[in-house]
Amino acid sequence: MARVPEEKLSDFGEWRFYAKGEWSKNADDATALCAGVANEYSVSWQPALKQYVAVYTENGLSRNIRLKTASAPAGPWSQSVVIYQCPETNKNTFCYAAKAHPTLAQSPDELVVTYVANTMNFRQVLDDARLYWPQFLRVRLR
């Protein structure tokens, strides 16, 4: 996680990186906010829960899309729950890049999530390009 004053966004020297509960000038000091989260994920405020939610693909490549909650962007984060299992996943096809898109939600208790499926078999994508299209989900939160 990083922070910078909005008016200094283009000045990388002003950026600070979250490192084991502290803020550091050195990007190399940055630490993970929680375990098992992919490199590509989202953290956003969820009005219905009055919490931040992290949405990600389990361990980066998995059929499981998971969600964690926290009262602050840096955590501490809850145990994760599986909110969806990608039906495309098999021995050749994998899913990744799950994230939430709060601006697409139609109500405060909804979360719109996207993910991508792909395959190790390039011929399969050439034969049916729909495989590599982003998939959209609507998830109701309680």
Average pLDDT, the chain: 92
Same domain, 52 and 109: yes
* pLDDT at 47 exceeding the cut of 80: yes
Percent of the chain at pLDDT > 70 equals 100
Domain count, the chain: 2
Same domain, 21 and 70: no
pLDDT digits 0-9 by tens, 2-23? 999 999 999 999 999 999 989 9
Same domain, 126 and 68: yes
Same domain, 17 and 45: no
- What is the structure's pLDDT at 4? 96
For 36, phi then psi, to 5°, come to 80, 0
Distance, first Cα to last Cα, the chain = 27
DSSP per-residue letters across 75-98: -PPPPPEEEEE-TT-SSSEEEEEE
Same domain, 2 and 48: no
Distances from the Cα of 101 to the Cα of 5, 9, 21, 97, 135, angstroms = 23, 22, 27, 12, 12
Same domain, 70 and 123: yes
Question: Which residue segment(s) compose the domain that 89 sits in?
Answer: 34-140
Residue recorded with tokens 């999530």: 113
Same domain, 46 and 105: yes
- Inter-residue contact 114 to 103 (CB < 8 Å): no
pLDDT digits 0-9 by tens, 91-135? 888 999 999 999 999 999 999 999 999 988 888 888 887 778 899
Same domain, 3 and 56: no
